[in-house]
Structure 1
Amino acid sequence: MKNLFLASVAIVAISTAASAADLAPYTKAPAPIINPGVNWSGFYIGAMGGYGWSDHVRASIGGLTATGSTNDINGGFGGGTIGYNWQMSQWVFGLEADAAGADISDSDTALGVTLTEKVDAFGSATGRIGYAVGPALFYAKGGYAWADNKISASAVGFGTVFSESHFHSGWTVGGGLEYMFAPNWSGKVEYMYADYSNETYLGAFVPGGIGFGAAFHTVKAGINYHFGGPVVARY
């Protein structure tokens, strides 16, 4: 009886080991670790603000133009941004438009008369190309620029005696760094250079008027919200 019991135990043990061996090759392998990446494709909107200062100004009269370097026209600005990105591998292509209200100005007083030059608003419509490295996007951009500029004069005891605004067109180029710090949210820092063409002022006082144009540097920081497809992709 004892020998029969031991033989039964041995048979059960051998059968169990064989079954385990048969099942081993079919054990499911652990799931691979999937690394997250950032998808920049889609629409976005944002807010931005910064500081601007003049690089040079141009004045023309009677067909003659004089250009002078100055950073005296300066001040802050704030506004908004809208754009769209297409991403192919690590390359990102986009279109972007922005606009800002500004207080970029300079005033000079002589003989009781104060002359003020002020950029009230400006903006751009640009193309953008960038290279994505993880959540960071390094980019360059360039295109059309515009500015709403006002020149005014005031005299002691008379108030404002002259004020004239003109819309200036031009071009802009620059670049920056954008970083996706949370799902759908990115922050950016950006530098731009813009050159605005001459427009004619003081036509009612000076025969032929006086042409005025200028170029500016701007630095800005901003935050964008991204719509559309998933911002966090998997590969």
Structure 2
Amino acid sequence: MKRFAVGAAALTLASTVPPARAADYYAPRQPYTVNQPLNAYSWAGPYLGGNLGYAWGTVSNNPTKPSGIVGGVQGGYNFQDGPWVFGIEGDLEATGADDTFAPWKFSNPWFGTVRGRVGYAFSNILFYGTGGLAFGELRGQTFGLTESQTSAGWTLGAGVEFGVAQNWTAKVEYLYVDLSESNFAITGTSNGYRFDMLRVGVNYHF
């Protein structure tokens, strides 16, 4: 009788084990997460934006020094290899740069550039140098006569660009622009426009 009681108790205990193990096997698991570091900021791809700044310069063979507000649009494309960023950028600007001295008035109504860019990125901060082709209009006036000449030249500068939000960057840039000389009938000599420009801008990266 005692053996029967012990056997029954053992059988009862054994019968309770599988359900407990099954419950362990099929209990909901904690969500699996991976701590993956964020990717480095990418400068690669096309972009389009606008800018606003100030230009000041001189007209060769003339005492005028045109200066004024500059504003326009720019667009370009970047390639990136590690921290190195290579690209090309073009811009077109309208300007209020002008000056009058005695009977002469010279102004620079517009100009544009097509430049290469080489930079080094620290994540979302890009330091770069830039240079290339410049072109634009120099307009002269005297005694009611007006003459305009469009010429090409070169430009060189540097800047820093910041990633400020998803797809958006802001930049500060300096350029020196040299528009080559052209013969002006109203002055009887060759005149060209050389100027410095400091501007800020924003870009949207696609």
TM-score category of the 2 structures, normalised to the smaller one? 0.7 to 0.9
Name which one, 1 or 2, has greater alpha-carbon Rg. Answer: 2
Which of 89, 107, 117 aligns to 1:128? It is 117
1:78-120 deviations in whole A, cap 9, x for unaligned? 11001111111111110110010111111123xxxx4211000
Q: Distance in 1 between matches of 2:198 and 2:75?
A: 18
Is 1:103 the counterpart of 2:113 in the alignment?
no
Secondary structure of 1:38 counterpart: coil
* Structure 2 counterpart of 1:36: 39
Q: Counterpart of 1:33 in structure 2: which amino acid? A: Q
Residue 143 of structure 1 corresponds to which residue in structure 2? 132
Counting only pairs closer than 5 Å after superposition, residues 1-235 of structure 1 correspond to structure 2 as: 1=5, 5=9, 30-54=33-57, 56-59=58-61, 72-109=65-102, 114-154=103-143, 161-202=144-185, 209-227=188-206
Q: Deviations over 1:108-162 (max 9, x none)?
A: 23xxxx42110000110000111111111111110011121101024xxxxxx21
Deviates more, 1:28-37 or 1:136-145: 28-37
Superposed CA deviations along residues 155-194 of structure 1, whole A, max 9, x for unmatched, are: xxxxxx2100001211111111111111111111100011
Q: Runs (4+) of structure 1 moved beyond 2 Å?
A: 1-13, 27-30
Q: Distance in 1 between matches of 2:127 and 2:7?
A: 80
CA distance in structure 1 between the aligned counterparts of 2:16 and 2:121, rounded to whole angstroms: 61
RMSD: 3.1
Q: CA deviation at 1:12?
A: 7.2
Q: Which amino acid aligns with 1:219?
A: L
Aligned mates of 2:141, 2:205 — CA distance in 1: 41
Write the distance in 1 (CA, Å) between the matches of 2:67 and 2:174. 15
Amino acid in structure 2 at the alignment position of 1:117: F
Size of the aligned set, in residue pairs, is 200
Q: State the shift of 1:32 in Å.
A: 2.2
Task: List runs of 5+ in structure 2 lacking aligned partners.
Answer: 25-29
Contact 2:73/2:92 (CA < 8 Å) preserved in 1?
yes
CA distance in 1 between counterparts of 2:13 and 2:99 reads: 101
Quickly say closer, same or farther: Cα 1:5–1:134, change in 2 above 3 A: farther
Q: Deviations over 1:34-65 (max 9, x none)?
A: 213222111111111100001x4422xxxxxx
**Could you say if the C-alpha distance between residues 5 and 217 of structure 1 is closer, same or farther in structure 2, counting changes exceeding 3 Å?**
farther
Q: Which residue of 1 aligns with 2:27?
A: none
Equivalent residue of 1:36, what SS?
coil
- Contact 2:90–2:112 under 8 Å retained in 1: yes
Looking at structure 1, the residues matched to 15 and 37 of structure 2 have their Cα atoms a distance apart, in angstroms, of 45
Q: List alignment gaps of at least 5 residues for structure 1.
A: 21-26, 60-66, 155-160, 228-235
Aligned partner letter, 2:60? R
Asked if the contact 2:138–2:193 (Cα under 8 Å) also holds between the matched residues in 1, the reply is no
Higher relative contact order (CA 8 A, sep 6+): 1
